[in-house]
Amino acid sequence: MHANDIKNFGILGWPVGHSLSPHMFRAAFDAAGLTNYNYIPIPVQAGRLMLAVDGLKWLDFRGCNVTIPHKTSVMKFLDAIDADAIIVGAVNTVVNDGGILTGYNTDVTGFISALTEANFMPEDCHAVILGAGGAARAVLWGLCKRKAEYVTVAARNGEKAAALAHDFANYAGVEGIDWTTEEFKEALQTADILINTTPLGMTPNVDAMPPVDISLLPEGALVYDIIYTPAKTKLLQKAEELGYPTLNGMSMLLLQGKESYRLYTGELPDEEVMLKALKEGLGL
Ligand code: NAP
């Protein structure tokens, strides 16, 4: 193999040892016969981010994924940023085209593709989002792009939820509220979908769940938790017990990776292979 044929990829974060991306991408590259493609974890502390991003160019990396805590701070070191990533304010994928680094946010596509694959079409829906952090921004923008009619963002910090809603007010009807209020209970009663974007219920704190009375939701409303460990959070268990359809975060994780792969290679990966690798990485 000629040295110029080697294409390097990785995931940049701190800490990054727990990331499932190396499993997922290596499996997909292997399945496509791309034996000259490498994918490695790249642990980078915050103070070294600028040098690390510059290093991607010097080391001729073809691309990298970006995770906590660099998804927003990486943006100022890139040459160009895709429209979704600008609106969400975070980048999780960087592509290097001949020394020009472009940032993308594939969480938006991953979230929407997961929804539509589950046969939920967001057009004209009333969605309630729990949490007002980074993932909530990607979820909210996905819903706005797909013409949701109204979105309620509910969080423990009502001011933060209101600020997030304000940022997106030009794109859809959006409100941001405190989840301990009567207003929140009213919002649940007309919701077509409830989406948890908080880490409440994530391993190891599996007994936690957001303070939400699921039974207020209309019959048939989809309860979607973007957490993927455990596969069934307490929120999803309760929803299932009450007869609501549910969806966990595994497909969003898979489909954001699929979109990154497409940006890296111009091709679609073998989704089954990626899912199998993800499950193996999670010990499922
Ligand atoms: P983040 O930016 O830190 O935001 C977390 C949100 O949850 C904030 O609104 C935060 O409120 C709230 N929160 C955190 N701890 C809480 C608690 N104990 N009680 C009440 N609210 C709490 O995190 P993120 O990046 O949005 O990620 C959130 C979750 O989404 C994580 O579990 C992550 O694994 C998951 N995720 C999944 C995917 C996927 O592909 N499936 C993709 C991205 C993220 P404050 O602002 O008040 O702290």
| Cα separation, 151 vs 171, whole angstroms | 11
**10-residue mean pLDDT series, the chain (284 residues):** 80 94 97 96 96 96 96 98 97 97 98 97 97 96 97 98 97 97 98 98 97 98 97 98 98 98 97 96 87
Q: CB of 197 closer than 6 A to ligand 1? A: yes
pLDDT of amino acid 5: 83
Q: Does residue 200 line the site of ligand 1, with CB under 6 A? A: yes
Reply yes or no on whether 57 is catalytic. Answer: no
Residue from 185, 87, 181 nearest 139 by CA: 87
Between the alpha carbon of residue 181 and those of residues 53, 194, 217, the distances in Å are 44, 16, 16
Token digits for 20? 């499932």
Name the residue of 159, 202, 226 whose CB sits within 8 Å of the most ligand 1 atoms, as the mutation to test its pocket: 226
Q: Is any atom of ligand 1 closer than 6 Å to the C-beta of 93?
A: no
Nearest CA among 8, 61, 72, 63 for reference residue 36:
8
What's the 133 CA to ligand 1 centre distance in angstroms? 6
Q: 278 in ligand 1 pocket by Cβ < 6 Å?
A: no
- Residue 101: predicted pLDDT: 98
| CA distances, 70 to each of 76, 179, 257, 269 (Å) | 11, 29, 17, 26
H-type alpha helices, 91-181: 106-117, 134-145, 158-167
pTM of the model: 0.96
